[in-house]
Structures are given as structure tokens and as C-alpha cells.
């Protein structure tokens, strides 16, 4: 059953590439860098769910945390840089058997539930709160006791990351849109909270979870050393990817301000030209009156 997640990831990639192909047939050029980032994002999902990483993640806390942070941060960031919702809206057909999919997608995106879930406060709480809610409570051990529970956690990690970066990047027609400064704030706030969680994991004097206490004896795994490594992984993923994401959003903000300035300048030049033309017309009229 662990093949379910990789299969869904491959299905998402196939759907995306078909969407790009559909636009190309209609003469619409889809940015290549978006296709590349989405594809790489799916590849990172496969690397932590369709390889031996998946098996080790069920046994070692450090590998599990690596898997969690890749899905919630790296994979989510790359996937949302591919603007999948924008592609779907433009590529889904308006006629034929698949025609109902486009209005259904728009209906979901415009729903009250989507507006609530994508609100920055809610998405940030889900993104960061999952760390504290899962690992500092018995919830994690309960879910790890069932294959369905482990798959549910993987889906939740990816989902919360997609929500966080989807709203922060603002490339798609997001149900809840905010200004660039607020989007930067969305990215900055989780940093200290991730760091505090990482420090709490590294400084803990006892194992936080019980699910990883059954590694084979031949592995010579020290639970506390492995837990220390897990904390370091959270710390690392809370720093570098966040800096990259902040740089992307800041660049988007600068580009947006530049485009706005060009529009304003163009309007000023148009108004000035019209004003000068009106003055010239009035001056010409006055010369004819004098004659």
C-alpha cells in the first residue's frame, strides 16, 4: 500500500505534462521554468516515498524527519513554483467528457472552505502546528501504528506545505490573496517556530516518540543520537529553503512595483501628451480668432 503515494505523484506529473502539451497545441506558450520546477518537485516526492528512504523512515526518527521536511518544504516549494492551478484552469477543456472538471475546480477554489483554509493564519498554523501537534502528543505513535495513518501523515505534510507556499508565492489564483509584505511575513514567521521546535528536539533528555525504538540491534542505533540528528534536520530545513523562498517573493514584489511604475509613467506620459495637444488646439483657435 506504500506505493499509493508514489502512484499519485506520478499521476500528478502526467496530468501536468498533458496540460502543458494541451496549451502548446493551442499555440499558448507555458513557461519552461515552471514545468522544470514542478517536475523536480515531483521527483523529490518520489525520492522520499518510492525508495529505501520510505523504509528507513519507518524505523529511524532522523530519516522520518528528513522525509517530512522534504515533503513539507522542498517538494511543496518546487511544486507551487510550477503554478499547477493556473495550468489546470487554462488547460482543462471547455467541451467533451472532461469539461466538468474546470468548473468543479473553480467552484472548489471559490468555496468558503477554501477561503478559510488558505487564510494565512490558518495555513501557517497548520504548517508549523503539525510539528508540535504530532511529535509532542501521542498522535504520532498512534498514526505510525497503522499503514493508513503513516500515509495520512505524508499527505498532510505535503498538503500543509502546498498551502503555505501556494499562498506565499501567489502564482496561482489563490482563494485568499494578500499583499507582498504579508506574503513575506507568512514565510518569516515559521522560521523561529521551526527553530524552537528543533532546539526542543535536540535538548530533550528522553525519546519524544516510541515508534522508533525497534531498530535492529545490528544497526547499533542510539535513540538519543538519532533524535539529535532529527532536530538538526528540522533546523537546516527551516533556514536555507526559507531564505530562498523569501528571496523569490521579494523579487516578485520588486518586479510588481517596477511594472506598476511603468504603467503609472505611461499614464502620465499619455495624459501629458493629451494636455499638450489640447493646449496646442486652443492656441491655434486663438490665432484664428485674432485674424
User: Residues 55-85: pLDDT tens digits?
Assistant: 899 899 999 999 999 999 999 999 999 999 9
Which residue, 173, 189, 178, 57, is CA-closest to 126?
Answer: 189
Question: Is 281 among the domain residues?
Answer: no
Q: How confident is the model at residue 131, as a pLDDT? A: 86
Question: Is 265 among the domain residues?
Answer: no
Question: Is 190 among the domain residues?
Answer: yes
Q: Which residues contact 165 (CB under 8 A, 6 or more apart)?
A: 76, 77, 79, 80, 81, 245
Q: How confident is the model at residue 256, as a pLDDT? A: 64
Full residue range of the structural domain in which residue 111 is found = 4-256
Question: Is 220 among the domain residues?
Answer: yes
Q: How confident is the model at residue 180, as a pLDDT? A: 73
State mean pLDDT over 131-154: 89
| Per-residue pLDDT band at 262 (split at 50, 70, 90) | very low
Q: How many domains does the chain have?
A: 1
pLDDT at 224 over 90: yes
Question: Is 159 among the domain residues?
Answer: yes
Q: How confident is the model at residue 102, as a pLDDT? A: 86
Question: Is 73 among the domain residues?
Answer: yes
Q: How confident is the model at residue 22, as a pLDDT? A: 92
Question: Is 86 among the domain residues?
Answer: yes
CB 78 within 8 A of CB 41: yes
Amino acid at each position: 500500500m506504500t506505493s499509493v503515494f508514489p502512484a499519485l505523484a506520478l499521476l500528478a506529473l502526467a496530468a501536468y505534462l498533458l496540460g502543458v502539451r494541451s496549451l502548446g497545441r493551442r499555440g499558448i506558450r507555458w513557461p519552461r521554468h515552471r514545468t522544470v520546477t514542478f517536475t523536480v518537485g515531483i521527483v523529490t516526492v518520489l525520492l522520499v516515498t518510492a525508495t529505501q528512504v520510505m523504509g528507513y523512515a519507518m524505523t529511524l526518527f532522523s530519516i522520518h524527519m528528513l522525509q517530512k521536511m522534504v515533503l513539507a518544504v522542498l517538494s511543496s516549494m518546487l511544486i507551487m513554483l510550477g503554478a499547477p492551478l493556473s495550468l489546470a484552469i487554462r488547460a482543462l477543456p471547455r467541451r467533451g467528457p472532461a469539461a466538468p472538471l474546470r468548473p468543479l475546480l473553480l467552484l472548489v477554489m471559490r468555496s468558503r472552505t477554501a477561503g478559510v483554509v488558505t487564510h494565512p493564519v490558518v495555513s501557517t498554523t497548520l504548517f508549523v502546528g503539525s510539528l508540535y501537534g504530532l511529535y509532542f502528543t501521542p498522535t504520532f505513535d498512534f498514526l505510525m501504528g497503522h499503514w493508513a495513518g503513516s500515509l495520512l501523515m505524508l499527505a498532510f505534510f505535503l498538503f500543509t506545505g502546498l498551502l503555505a507556499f501556494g499562498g506565499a508565492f501567489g502564482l496561482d489564483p489563490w482563494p485568499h490573496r494578500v499583499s507582498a509584505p504579508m506574503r513575506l511575513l507568512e514565510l518569516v514567521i515559521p522560521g523561529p517556530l521551526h527553530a524552537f521546535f528543533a532546539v526542543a528536539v535536540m535538548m530533550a533528555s528522553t525519546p519524544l516518540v516510541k515508534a522508533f525504538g525497534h531498530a535492529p540491534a545490528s544497526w547499533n542505533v542510539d535513540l538519543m543520537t538519532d533524535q539529535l540528528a532529527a532536530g538538526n534536520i528540522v533546523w537546516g530545513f527551516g533556514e536555507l529553503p526559507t531564505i530562498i523562498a523569501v528571496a523569490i517573493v521579494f523579487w516578485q514584489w520588486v518586479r510588481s512595483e517596477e511594472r506598476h511604475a511603468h504603467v503609472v509613467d505611461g499614464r502620465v506620459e499619455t495624459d501629458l501628451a493629451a494636455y499638450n495637444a489640447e493646449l496646442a488646439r486652443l492656441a491655434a483657435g486663438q490665432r484664428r480668432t485674432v485674424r
